[in-house]
Structure 1
Amino acid sequence: MKKLLTASLAFALLFGGISSCTAQKKSTAKKISELPNKKEVLEVAQRANQYFMNKWPDAGKEVVGKKVWPSNLWTRAVYYEGLMALYKINPKKEYYDYALDWSQKHNWDMMRGTYTRNADNQACGQTYLDLYEIDGRKNPERIKFVKLSMDSMIASGKSDDWWWIDALQMGMPIFTKLGRITGDKKYFDKNYEMYAFTKYKHGGNGLYNAKDKLWWRDKSFVPPYKEPNGEDCYWSRGNGWVVAALARTLEDTPRSDAHYQEYLQDYKDLLSALLPIQREDGFWNVSLHDPTNFGGKEMTGTALFVYGMAYGINKGLIDKKAYLPVLTKAWNAIVKDSVQPNGFLGWVQGTGKEPKDGQPLSVSKEPDFEDYGLGCLLLAASEVYQLK
C-alpha cells in the first residue's frame, strides 16, 4: 500500500509538474501574443517620452557628440515625428508646446538652410507642417521655408538625391504632406520621381531587390557585397525607414494618384518579407537575412516594423489575421525588454548604416543619439493604441 501511495504521489508530482509547466508556458505565450489595452500602450509611450523631455528641457539646446549639432538634425526630427503622433492620440498641451518651442528656436527652417538638398536636413519640416495644420493653417510662416526648400528641389530637375534608403523616410512625407495641404500635384509627382530613382537606378539597378522584397541601404551593399553567411545585407532599421516612408506616403497620397498602387504594393511586399524572419523573442535582427552578424535584440527596426503593420491594419490595407499576432509579439517584446521603468530605452542601435554600427547592444547601453529611437517607439505606440 505504501509503495502504491508513493508511486501515486510520484505520478501526481510528475504530471502535476508537467501540467503546471504547460500552464505556465501557455500563460507566457498568452502574454506575448495578447494585445495590450490602450491605457497600457499610452503609459509606455508617456513614460519613455517623459524621460526624454526631462533630460532635454531646452528644446533648442545643441546636441554635443563627436561634433556639435543643431537640435533640428534628423535624429531629433524623427523624435518630433513621434511626438506629433503621440499628440494626436493624447493631445497634451506640453507636447504641443515642446514641439512649437523647438520649431521656433530654429525659425521654422531646415538644418543647414532653406536650400539644402539633403533629406536628413529637411526631415524637421515634417513637424513644421504638422504644427501648421494643428493650428488651422493660420500661420503660413511655419511652412514658408519647407515649401521653398521643396520647390527648389522640383525646379532643379534633379532626382538622384535620395541615394540611401533612410532618406525616403526623411523626405517623402514632406512632399506628400505639401501635396495634400496645397492641393498641388507637383509635389506628388516629384515624390515619385525621386522614389523611383532610388528604387530603380541608384547602385546600378536600384536599391530594391524585388526577389527578396527588401532594400539595400545604399550602393555599398548591392551585390556582390555579402553578409558573413553569404546572404545579401538587409539592414533592419534601413528597411524600417522604408516601411515608415511608405506608410506616411500612403496616408497623404490620393488613391487616384498614378503611383499610389505601386507604393501600396511595395509596402505590402516589404511587410510580407518580414513575417518569416521575426525572431522567436519578437524582435528582428539588425541583419534581416543573417542572424549570425551581430544577432540579437534591436528596438528601432522592430518598432518601425510594428508601426507599419499596425498602420496597415488600422487602415484596412493588410490582413489583420496574418499581421496582428506578429506586431503584437513585437510590441510586447519592446515593452518587456526595451522600455525600462524610468523610461530609458535599451537595445537601441546607434547611428550608422549596417549591422556592425553601434555594437554591441545591451539593455543599458546609451546610443550615440537616443532621440530617434524614441521617435520610432512613439510612432509604433500611436498606431498600436488605435488597434481594435
Structure 2
Amino acid sequence: MIRLSMYLLGVALLLELPTACTSSKTVVATQVSLPKQQDVLALITQVNDHWQASHPAQVRSFWDEAAYQTGNMAAYEVTKNEKYRQYAEDWAVHNQWKGATSDDKAAWKYKYGETPDYVLFGDWQICFQTYIDLYKLKPEPQRIARAREVMEYEMSTDRNDYWWWADGLYMVMPVMTKLYGVTKNPQYLTKLHDYFAYANSIMHDPETGLYYRDSKYVYPQHKSVNGQKDFWARGDGWVLAGLAKVLHDLPADAPHRGEYLSKYQRLAAAIKKAQQPEGYWTRSLLDPQHAPGPETSGTAFYTFGLLWGINHGVLDKKEYWPTVQKSWQYLTTTALQPDGTVGYVQPIGEKAIPGQVVGKNSTANFGVGAFLLAASEMYRYLADH
C-alpha cells in the first residue's frame, strides 16, 4: 500500500503540469490536486526507516556516511521524528564529534586521503554540517569544538586551494556558512569566497555554466566518448546543492552573495536544459550516450537544488516546476523500489563510466541522503500549495 501511495503521489505531481506546458490532450490533468504533505512524510519515513533498519549509526565520519546524514537531518527537520535525530547523534558520538582524528597539526593534509592525518581534506569535513545542526538543537560547545579547531586552523594558513574537486563544494561550503551562523566570525565568509574563487578558476566552465569534476576533466584535455565536454552528473549535483545550502544560510547583506546566486542560477539553467525526457539526468550531462540510462544521486541533488530555488523565489516557478515534476516522477516511481530501497545510484567514483551497470538494486548511503534532501524540500514546497 505504501508503494502504491507513493506511485500515486508521483503521478499526481506529474499531472499537475501547468497548462502552458501541456498538450490539448492533457489539459484536463491540470485540475488534479497536489498531494498532501503527509503523503511526502510517508515517503520520507519509508525510505529513511528502511535504510536505518539495516545500517547501524556506528560508522566512520567519511564523506559518504556524512552525506547521508545531511539527508537524515533534513528528514528530521520536516518529520520531527526523534529517532532520526538520535541516529545522527549516535553517529556523532561514535566519531567523537570529529572527522579525521589526528591531533598533530604539523601532519595535517588536504589532498585525497582516508587516513587520520587528512584532517584538512573536505571529505573528512562534511560531517561538521551535521554536528553543527545538532549543536543548534542542543548548544553544547564540544559538539562543534573540533569543527572550529579544524576550520580555524585551515583559515590561518596562506593556502586557498582546499576545494580542488567539485564534491568539495558540497562537503565544505555549507560548513563555512553554518559556522559563521553560530560564531559570527566574518573570516568564515571571507575564506569561503577565497576558496570558492579558486574552485571556480579550475573547474567552472564559463561557456556552459557547468562544473567539471576537477581539473583532470577539463575540455579538451578530457572528452566524452563522442568528443564533447564531459560534465559528471553527481559532480554538478554536489555543486548545485552546495550553493543552495550556502544561499540558505548566508545573510542577505553578505559580501559576494550576488556572485553565489549568479553561479547558482546559471548552473540551474544549464542543468534544466540537460534533463532527459524521462525525468532523470544521465551520468555525463551533455553526452547521454557516454553512459546512458537513469542515475539517481545526481537527479536527486538537482531536484533538491531546483526546489530550493523555487521555494525561495530565486528560480521562476513557471520555468522550473515542470523540470522538478518530471524528476520527482522519476524519483518516486522508478528510483524508489517497493521495499523503500533507492535504486539506480551510481557507485562511488568521480566520473561517468561507459558500460558501467547502474540498476534498480544499485543503492548507496549518499544516494539515500540525496533522495531525502529532495523529498524534504518537496514537503516544504507543498506547505504553500
* TM-score for both structures, normalised by structure 1: 0.85
Residue 245 to residue 113, structure 1, CA distance change in 2 (3 Å): farther
Q: Secondary structure at the match of 2:47?
A: helix
C-alpha offsets along residues 36-71 of structure 1, whole Å, 9 cap, x if unaligned? 432222222111111111001x3114xxxxxxxxx2
Which range moved further: 36-45 or 281-290?
Answer: 36-45
Match of 1:374 in 2: 368
What is residue 361 of structure 1 aligned with on the other side?
358
CA gap 1:35/1:302 in 2 versus in 1, 3 angstroms: farther
Matched to 1:308, the amino acid is G
Separation in structure 2 between the aligned mates of residue 244 and residue 357 of structure 1, nearest angstrom: 25
1:83 alignment counterpart: 72
User: In the TM superposition, what is the alpha-carbon distance from 1:35 to its structure 2 partner?
Assistant: 4.8
Q: SS at the partner of 1:385? A: helix
Structure-2 separation of matches of 1:252 and 1:119: 19
Residue 261 of structure 1 aligns with which residue?
Answer: 258
Give the Å deviation of 1:120.
0.2
Q: Is the 8 A contact 2:290 2:354 kept in 1?
A: no
From 99, 104, 118, the equivalent of 2:121 is: 118
Which amino acid is 1:284 matched to? W
Looking at structure 1, the residues matched to 329 and 34 of structure 2 have their Cα atoms a distance apart, in angstroms, of: 8
Deviations 1:300-345 (A, max 9, x none): 0000000011111111111011111111210111100011111111
Distance verdict in 2 for CA 1:363–1:165, change over 3 Å: same
Counterpart code for 1:117: L
Residue 239 (1) aligns with residue 231 (2): no
**1:258 shift after superposition:** 1.7
> What residue identity is the alignment partner of 2:158?
G
* Structure 1 position 129 matched with structure 2 position 144: no
CA deviation after TM superposition for structure 1 residue 358, in Å: 9.0
C-alpha distance in structure 1 between counterparts of 2:355 and 2:277, whole Å: 23
The answer as to 2:349 corresponding to 1:346 is no
Amino acid at match of 2:204: Y
Q: Gaps (5+ residues) in structure 2? A: 1-22, 109-118
Is residue 161 from structure 1 mapped to residue 155 from structure 2 by the alignment? no
Equivalent residue number for residue 325 of structure 2? 328
Could you say which residue in structure 1 is the equivalent of 2:227? 230
Structure 1 residue 112: deviation in Å?
4.0
For 1:143-194, what per-residue CA distance to the aligned partner results, in whole angstroms no more than 9, with x for missing partners? 0000000001101121101111101100100011001111111001111100
Hey, what does 1:40 align to over in structure 2?
A: 39
Structure-2 change in CA distance of 1:226 and 1:35 (3 Å): farther
d(CA) in 1 for partners of 2:344, 2:262 = 31
Q: Which residue of 1 aligns with 2:57?
A: 59
> Residue 163 of structure 2: SS of its match in structure 1?
coil
> CA 1:273–1:34 in structure 2 vs 1: closer, same or farther (change >3 Å)?
farther
Q: Which structure has the bigger radius of gyration?
A: 1
Shift of 1:234: 0.5
* CA distance in structure 1 between the partners assigned to 2:168 and 2:362 by the alignment: 26
Equivalent-residue separation in structure 2 for 1:292 and 1:317 (angstroms): 32
SS of 1:291 mapped into structure 2: coil
Given that 2:63 and 2:124 are in contact with CA atoms closer than 8 Å, whether structure 1 keeps it comes out as yes
Alignment TM-score, normalising by the size of structure 2? 0.86
Q: Write the letter of the residue equivalent to 1:245.
A: G
* 1:99 is the counterpart of 2:99: no
State the secondary structure of the residue aligned to 2:380. coil
Question: Take 1:149 and 1:34, find their aligned partners in 2: how far apart are those partners?
Answer: 49
Alpha-carbon distance in structure 1 between the residues aligned to 2:195 and 2:355: 30
Count of residues paired in the alignment: 344
Q: CA RMSD in A?
A: 2.0
Cα distance, 1:36–1:277 mapped onto 2, change above 3 Å = farther
| Partner in structure 2 of residue 302 of structure 1 | 299
Distance 1:343 1:185, change over 3 A: same
Q: In structure 1, what is the Cα distance between the partners aligned to 2:123 and 2:83? A: 26
Paired position in structure 1 for 2:200: 199
Amino acid at match of 1:108: W
| Corresponding letter in the other structure for 1:37 | K
Distance in structure 1 (CA, Å) of the matches to 2:296 and 2:280 = 7
Instruction: Supply the distance in 2 between the matched residues of 1:357 and 1:229 (Cα, whole angstroms).
Output: 11
| SS of alignment partner, residue 214 of structure 1 | coil
Q: Distance in 2 between matches of 1:160 and 1:186?
A: 16
1:17 aligns to what? Answer: none
Distance, in Å, in 1 between the alignment partners of 2:47 and 2:256 is 37
CA separation of 1:122 and 1:113: change in aligned 2, threshold 3 A = farther
2:132–2:178: 8 Å Cα contact kept in structure 1?
A: yes
In structure 2, relative to structure 1, the CA distance for the partners of 1:188 and 1:343 (3 Å cut) is: same
The Cα shift of 1:255 comes to 2.1
What SS does the aligned partner of 1:154 have? helix
1:157-196 → structure 2 map (5 Å cutoff): 157-196=158-197
**Would you say the 8 A contact 2:212–2:231 is kept in 1?**
yes
1:210 is displaced (CA, Å) by 1.2
Q: Aligned pair 1:49/2:83, yes or no?
A: no
